[in-house]
Amino acid sequence: MDVITKEYFKLGIKFCRHQFKNGGVCIFVHESKDVESVPTHHICKEQDIEIYAIKLNLPKFKIVIVTIYRSPTGNCNYFLMKL
């Protein structure tokens, strides 16, 4: 997979679909920030709900950044149930 790069930023997390053509997500963070991935694979189902997260560890607190996507052809009821 080709990934866009930007000076001073690193890839925090990325995902590409395996079953369906096209689609995926990535989160970039400043290279000086400490991040770790948050497990979401147990929630994800391609097209129905694609959710990925990272935890940004700052000196005084932690922030979780989440991306959520449902394809227009995905199952809306499944999406709402898992959300």
pLDDT in tens, 37-61: 898 888 888 888 888 899 998 889 9
Q: Which of the two residues, 25 and 45, has the higher pLDDT score?
A: 45
Q: Which of the two residues, 12 and 54, has the higher pLDDT score?
A: 54
Residues 81, 83: Cα–Cα separation, whole Å: 6
What is the DSSP secondary structure assignment for residue 47, as one 8-state letter?
Answer: T
- What was the pLDDT predicted at 3? 62
Indicate the SS3 state at residue 79.
Answer: helix
- What was the pLDDT predicted at 5? 75
pTM, to two decimals: 0.72
1 to each of 16, 59, 75, 76, how far by Cα in Å? Answer: 8, 33, 27, 28
